[in-house]
């Protein structure tokens, strides 16, 4: 029986790389842009290979796949895939953990620099009032006297630290699972979470969504920060309690935030984050560059090729 390869959804504008693999292997190929569970069930029924961006890969979806199927997540996080259900149904799951490390680190660095130099606020003040004095928006410490706190010290966080080092920042991090040797090489000091929150003038989030990290950034977390801290999230929206964040931004506990990810996505049209002037919003774009998109499709398709050939997967999760 001819195998079936299905792309549930993608943000690349095309699937030429995936189609080329399917032709070369004599595999049926289908590409869709589904978002609901019902539509995902319908388009993946009997599929041997599923490449997924944000479509929900639930137990019901997994139950309808071919025996021994493989699900490949376009990207690092896989919180839209029910990993426990995949194990029960004998479905292999893989991700692409290294396609966009540098691009996400670039985006996080750009956000941190913009917030710490108050660029969005200066811009808005000039547009609204015609002009403002440099000191009109309050204190503006130099980078050499600023501590950046990283929550998570994995590949992306350490790449970010490398970008920040030439500016003179002190960088500390909390990550109970981090490789201390790699952190030392990157010039990052690993300390307790409470110490990071007490010392940092800027927080950058770099953790997946798990039971341990969901709403890690809650009211207690935000209250423990120094008044006037800025926060950047390029990890996952579920790490942040958005209601608590909006309150902290409104009260001045947080000076500003740059958010690339939300829970759910797109950001709720009624979210108070949309109307706050001290929030910089980007549309889950930290991963995106011409180079990273090509790398992501290529690496995901190569993983699909390994699955079709029965070879070990490069980045198997389940």
- Residue 19: CATH number of its domain: 3.40.50.720
Output the pLDDT for position 251.
98
Do 60 and 133 belong to one domain? no
Q: Does 268 share its domain with 143?
A: yes
- Asked if residue 87 is part of any domain, the answer here is yes
Q: How far apart are the first and last CA of the chain?
A: 25
Residues 298 and 178 occupy one common structural domain? no
298 alpha-carbon distance from chain centroid: 19
The answer on 121 and 30 residing in a single domain is no
270 is an active site residue: no
pLDDT at 1: 85
Catalytic residue status for 265: yes
- Residue 126 and residue 203 share a domain: yes
Q: What is the pLDDT of residues 10-21, one digit of tens each?
A: 989 999 999 999
Per annotation, catalytic residue among 236, 242, 302, 314: 236
Establish if 200 belongs to a structural domain: yes
**Helix and strand tally (H, E) in the chain?**
12, 12
In a domain, 318, yes or no: no
pLDDT of 302 reads: 98
| Greatest extent of the chain over all pairs of C-alpha atoms, in Å | 72
Residue 315 counted as domain residue: no
Contact partners, residue 309, CB within 8 Å, separation at least 6: none
Same domain for 228 and 137: yes
**316 lies in some domain:** no
Q: How far apart are CA 125 and CA 277, in angstroms?
A: 10
Mean pLDDT per 10-residue run, the chain (318 residues)?
96 95 98 98 98 97 98 95 98 96 97 98 96 95 98 97 98 97 97 98 96 97 98 98 98 98 96 97 95 96 98 98
pTM for this entry = 0.91
* 272 and 129 fall within a common domain: yes
177 shares a domain with 266: yes
Domain match, 129 and 256 both? yes
Q: What is the pLDDT of residue 284?
A: 95
User: Token pair for residue 148?
Assistant: 């950046």
Q: What is the pLDDT of residue 61?
A: 98
What pLDDT sits at residue 255? 98
Digit-coded pLDDT (tens) for 153-206: 999 999 999 999 999 999 999 999 999 999 999 999 999 999 999 999 999 999
Exactly one of 4, 73, 89, 284 is catalytic; which is it?
A: 284
> Does some domain include residue 314?
no
User: 99 to each of 198, 284, 289, how far by Cα in Å?
Assistant: 33, 15, 11
Domain-embedded: residue 50: yes
- Domain co-membership, 150 together with 262: yes
Give the model's pLDDT for residue 17: 97
Q: What is the pLDDT of residue 282?
A: 98
Q: Is residue 317 part of a domain?
A: no
pLDDT score, position 202: 98
- Domains in the chain: how many in total? 2
79 with 108, same domain: the answer is no
> Residue 88: CB partners within 8 Å, gap ≥ 6?
59
Same domain as 140, residue 108: yes
Q: What is the pLDDT of residue 33?
A: 98
Write out the residue range of the structural domain in which residue 264 sits: 101-281
Alpha-carbon gap, residue 306 to 310, rounded angstroms: 6
C-alpha closest to that of 72 among 14, 12, 26, 5: 5
């Amino acid at each position: 029986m001819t195998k079936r390869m299905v792309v549930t959804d993608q943000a690349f504008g095309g699937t030429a790389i995936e189609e080329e693999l399917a032709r070369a292997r004599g595999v049926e190929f289908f590409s869709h842009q589904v978002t609901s569970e019902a539509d995902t069930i319908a388009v993946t029924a009997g599929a041997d290979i599923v490449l997924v961006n944000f479509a929900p890969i639930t137990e019901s979806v997994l139950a309808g796949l071919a025996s021994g199927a493989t699900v490949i997540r376009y990207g690092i996080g896989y919180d839209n895939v029910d990993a426990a259900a995949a194990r029960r149904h004998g479905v292999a799951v893989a991700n692409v953990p290294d396609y966009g490390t540098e691009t996400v680190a670039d985006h996080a660095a750009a956000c941190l620099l913009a917030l710490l130099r108050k660029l969005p606020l200066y811009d808005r003040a000039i547009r609204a009032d015609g002009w403002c004095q440099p000191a009109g928006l309050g204190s503006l410490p130099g980078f050499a006297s600023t501590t950046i706190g990283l929550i998570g010290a994995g590949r992306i966080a350490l790449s970010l630290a490398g970008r920040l080092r030439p500016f003179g920042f002190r960088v500390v991090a909390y990550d109970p699972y981090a490789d201390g040797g790699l952190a030392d090489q990157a010039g990052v000091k690993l300390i307790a979470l409470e110490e990071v929150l007490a010392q940092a003038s800027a927080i950058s989030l770099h953790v997946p969504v798990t039971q341990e990290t969901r709403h890690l950034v809650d009211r207690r977390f935000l209250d423990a920060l120094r008044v006037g801290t800025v926060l950047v999230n390029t990890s996952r929206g579920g790490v942040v309690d958005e209601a608590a964040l909006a309150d902290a931004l409104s009260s001045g506990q947080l000076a500003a935030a740059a958010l690339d990810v939300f829970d759910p996505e797109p950001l709720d049209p009624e979210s108070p984050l949309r109307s706050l002037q001290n929030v910089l919003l980007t549309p889950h774009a930290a991963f995106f560059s011409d180079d990273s998109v090509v790398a992501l499709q290529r690496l995901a398709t190569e993983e699909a090729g390994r699955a079709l050939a029965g070879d070990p997967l490069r980045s198997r999760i389940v």
